Amino acid sequence: MHFETIAIRVGQEPDPATGSVIVPIYATSTFRRQSIEQEGGYEYSRVANPTRAAAEQCLAALEGGKYCLLFASGMAAESAVIGLLKPGEHVVCIRDVYGGTMSLLRLAEGRGIRYTYVDATRLEEVAGAIRPETRLLWLESPTNPLTYVVDLQALAELGHAHGLLVVVDNTFATPYLQNPLALGADIVVHSATKYLGGHSDLIGGALVYNRDDLHDPLWDQQAVGGGILSPFESWLLLRGLKTLAVRMRAHEANAMAVARYLQEHPKVEQVLYPGLPDHPHHALARRQMRGFGGMLAVYLKGGREQAVRFCESTRLFLLASSLGGVESLIGYPPVMSHASLTPEERAERGITENLVRLSVGLEHIDDLLADLEQALAKV
């Protein structure tokens, strides 16, 4: 089946009790057992719930995975992966990574987990950071916030050559535009809050994987750890997945138009969008992805004052955290997504005072461009 058909049909057969074509919200904490010795079926919703199971089955199919586990947030999903590590083990992590991931690694340092950040666009730097105690290679592509694209297949091969678990955060691309498992990754991470849900009305996270040996330990992290996605939010996620393909096509069309417009504006220093030919990783993105997504990084001419004035002057681009919803959002990474970093750490990653992040939504493109024009006129 094609992507659009999978998104609407897999895991979503009509309800056998009523014929409902939409999976019901099973708002129950527990289930009647048929016997003391019952094997299989549902028992307790922390362990398994039919609505969550339907969403897990659908997302697994979209990513080309055998297993999917849904969590209460993207950070809960990431915590489950880090929960596989033992004290003394080491993580090699891409330098341009979501700020919450960096906060999680700092938290893990308290229980003896060590980590090293690398420029993952340079294979030799990644290889040089691997130690005997390294267990995990953590990647993101495109990255948050700078939209860098890294060679997932080459990095997965490098990681596996050293016996590492290779994890890829696929939040920006979504399974519609990229499938890291097919490129060699062991685990795909999503913040389902973003494009998968797509309507800014749920908080959720996901892990998708194929390896049987990972299933029991990751399932323990979900079911025993208890950070599960609720039945209602699982239902919202299923609703969002149904329109993921059409939304991502529209996000990309609008983002490309916004990127081209900003690229020519005299008050803009640089636009980073993988779909632009001058993006440093455009050729790789064309080869590795099926499209370029809806996220842009924009460097304005000037500094903090100009960036803040721009962010606070837009009307349709709402100043808010998060991304990937139908509405356009604008963010200021130095004090929002990457506020936990020191000024030196931000500078090292290119998160400078004049950087703005745009999540381009589905409003009419003429209205979005007019909004950017009036905001830039105030800078």
Positions marked catalytic: 46, 98, 169, 194
Residues 221, 84: contact at Cβ < 8 Å?
Answer: yes
Residues 125-140, buried b or exposed e (16+ Cβ, 10 A)? Answer: ebeebbeeebbbbbbb
Closest among 175, 322, 193 to 245, alpha carbons compared: 175
Write the burial class of residue 98 (CB in 10 Å: 0-12 exposed, 13-18 middle, 19+ buried). buried
- Could you give phi then psi for residue 207, rounded to 5 degrees? -125, 135
The CA-based diameter of the chain, rounded to the nearest angstrom, is 73
Residues 180, 152: contact at Cβ < 8 Å?
Answer: yes
- Could you give phi then psi for residue 355, rounded to 5 degrees? -95, 135
Q: Beta strand 295-300 with 268-272: parallel, antiparallel or unpaired?
A: antiparallel
Residues 178, 274: contact at Cβ < 8 Å?
Answer: no
The residue behind tokens 């399974």 is 175
The residue behind tokens 């959002």 is 329
Query: Which residue type sits at 236?
Result: L
* Cβ-based neighbour number of residue 178 at 10 Å: 24
Please state, in angstroms and rounded to a whole number, the distance separating the CA atoms of residues 104 and 107. 5
Q: Bridge-partner residues for 300, per DSSP? A: 268
